[in-house]
Amino acid sequence: MKRTPLAELLQTELERQDFHPRLPGYKRVYEAIRGAIVNRRLPAGAKLPSSRDLARELDASRNMIVAAYDQLQAEGYVESQTGSGTYVAEALPDGFSNDGSHVRYQFLGDAAEDDEAVSLSKRGARLTREEGMDAYEVQPLALSGKMDLLNFPIKTWQRVQNQVWRRDDVNLYDYDTTGGYLQLKRAVADYLRVSRGVALDADQVLITGGTQQSLDLISRMLADQNDIAWVENPCYWGAWSSFYANDLNIRPIAVDLEGMNPSAEDLASPPPKFIYVTPSHQYPTGAVMSLARRKSLIEYAQRANAWILEDDYDSEFRYAGRPVASLQGLAAEAGVPRVLYMGTFSKVIYPGIKLAYVVLPHALIPSFKTALYDLYRPGQLHLQAALAEFIDQGHFTTHIRRLRQAYAQRRTLLLAVLDRALKGKVQQVVVDAGLLLVIKLPSHIDDVALSAQCQSNGLSVRPLSRYYIGETDVRGLVVGFAYVDTNDLVECGKRLGDMIGAVLT
């Protein structure tokens, strides 16, 4: 018989406790439940199983469970609601509290430790001041529906993976010491050379466990404490989090319709170690960096001995016009090897694949391979081999083509729905690329409050102002339309339009 989570938890507590041999059975159950409540593994309001069900799951007498419940209720740890059941109390006795203000984390028989005695480093406190995923990461517009991954050829992917697993190659079970599976690096190099105009050979490709790992590795290898990093303002939150974690000083650089736009003051200040940009589709505004800005940035990086970190996170999704060539390719033409090009498979395969790549100048390759191994012990070679086969067999380009078509249709549909609902009352930032759009709002609108209101009504949007470093009067909503079923998109677009219209009246 499968046990409920509470029964499993109590069984573990009963087995791990060194109870006195003469301690009655009901007292042991009481101590186990009380310990789970005090340690907040059973939160306020949690419903306990009926005494009959718990007795059956623990293979104990019902009288034992009833006696334990009675004592817990008498001491104020649980509350009984007639006809409904037994619940963990909101206010606990003995100075314990379910709001976390006076909770002491302890197991029964262990020494207690106050919350106040546990302190994070300054870096840790800064990183966790805001929960990045909840505050910044753009999610599908519809909270209530499932992520629509129907465009991903799951059966084809499974078949390719099975082909790899059937190989008699013991090397796929080991750590990787070469910077990535060679066949995958070759496939990435061929793809980037043709589709993005990146100047590279396969040995320049380093396979990482996601863009965040790429940024962390670059920061550790090329920057020292208190070095300066230029970032776009507004900016991708994962970049500034990584730079903060590596003790860099961040200098926000304004973004306009042509991308990053350093001021005279910025250019006259101490030069940065890094210049982080998303030139092909600025995150989150969607601006595309102009050719003049690209050339100017490359020239500045050469003079300042700075590294440009080009994050080309969703370049596959351009719906009109010719693809924008990479900054790295332009720099290579100018003879300036100062660009580290980053890309990811999480946008085009599926989010949890956690495979990305960095294209390095030749001089950095040996040291980065060593550091990648020493710091992260990379593996996932079966996954890398499957992805290489997926690309080589032509499934990757077919999948991207289908995705691009599907997302273009959803983007057009959402824009049309919002246009009808908003009737030109606000500006929609329309760019021919990406997986999100931005709705600009008047500066007097509280976009944080509006975002929270949308959240409570089943819509996932992010406030544009939160992506800015420092004070800003820019207001808006960042809306993701990928992974949303078409039917849901229509309904959610109408609902979003109505909610925006309500705050504008």
Instruction: Give the CA angle between residues 145, 147, 149 to the nearest 5°.
Output: 140
Question: Are 175 and 375 spatial neighbours (Cβ–Cβ below 8 Å)?
Answer: no
**150 vs 291 pLDDT, higher one:** 291
Backbone angles phi, psi at 176, to 5 degrees: -100, 130
CA distances (Å), origin 392, targets 317, 345, 349, 398: 21, 15, 15, 11
CA angle, corner 284, sides to 448 and 450, nearest 5? Answer: 15
Which stretches does DSSP call E strand in 282-429? 307-311, 339-344, 356-359, 428-429
By DSSP bridging, strand 104-105 and strand 85-88 are unpaired
> Per residue in 2-43, pLDDT tens?
667 777 777 777 776 666 666 778 888 888 888 888 877 788
Residue 94 confidence (pLDDT): 56
| pLDDT score recorded for residue 136 | 58
335-360 per-position pLDDT tens digit:
889 999 999 998 888 888 899 999 99
Helix (H, G, I), strand (E, B) or coil at 226: coil
pLDDT at position 104, please?
Answer: 36
Higher pLDDT, 505 or 113: 505
Provide the residue ranges of all domains of the chain, joining segments of one domain with +. 5-117, 132-148+398-504, 154-393
Find the length of the chain: 505
Segment 377-394 shows an average pLDDT of 93
Among the ranges given (2-11, 114-123, 396-405), the one the predictor scored with the smallest mean pLDDT: 114-123
CA distance 50 to 57: 11
C-alpha separations of 432 from 90, 196, 323, 367, 415 in Å: 51, 17, 10, 39, 12
Percent of the chain with pLDDT over 90: 36
Confidence of residue 158 (pLDDT cuts 50, 70, 90): very high
Q: Is pLDDT of 247 > 50?
A: yes
Q: What would the pLDDT profile of 44-84 be if each residue is shown by its tens digit?
A: 888 888 888 888 888 888 888 888 888 888 888 888 877 77
pLDDT at residue 116, as a whole number? 47
- Residue 380, pLDDT > 80, answer yes
- So what's the pLDDT on residue 131? 55
Which pLDDT band, with edges at 50, 70 and 90, does 115 fall under?
very low
Strands annotated E in 35-191: 47-48, 78-81, 85-88, 104-105, 113-114
pLDDT tens per residue across span 104-113: 333 333 434 4
CATH topology of domain 5-117: Arc Repressor Mutant, subunit A (1.10.10)
pLDDT greater than 70 at residue 99: no
Per-chain mean pLDDT for the chain: 84
Average pLDDT of span 141-162: 75
Which CATH number among 3.90.550.10, 3.30.420.40, 3.90.1150.10, 3.40.640.10 corresponds to the domain 132-148+398-504?
3.90.1150.10
Please indicate whether residue 382 or residue 84 has the higher confidence score (pLDDT).
382
DSSP state of 196: T
pLDDT value at residue 422:
84
Q: Taking the model in full, what pTM does it have?
A: 0.74
Looking at residue 395, what is its pLDDT?
Answer: 94
pLDDT of 125 reads 67
Residue 284 has pLDDT above 50, yes or no: yes
Half-sphere exposure of 62 (CA within 13 A, CB side): 6
Give me the torsion for CA of 196, 198, 201, 203, rounded to 10°: -90
Cα radius of gyration rounded to whole Å, the chain? 27
Q: Which residue has the higher pLDDT, 3 or 314?
A: 314
Question: How confident is the model at residue 327, as a pLDDT?
Answer: 93
In DSSP terms, 340 is beta-bridged to: 309
Angle at 73 between CA 70 and CA 78, to 5 degrees: 130
Higher-confidence position of 75 and 230: 230
Record the tokens describing residue 370, joined without a space: 């060593």
Return the pLDDT at 142.
66
CA 441, CA 450: separation in Å to the nearest integer?
11
- The CATH classification number of 154-393 equals 3.40.640.10
Which range is most confident: 34-43, 103-112, 249-258, 491-500? 249-258
The average pLDDT across 191-209 equals: 93
Strand residues in 257-392 grouped as ranges (E): 259-260, 274-277, 307-311, 339-344, 356-359
Cα–Cα dist 138/141, whole Å: 9
Minimum mean pLDDT among 27-41, 88-102, 316-330, 454-468: which range?
Answer: 88-102
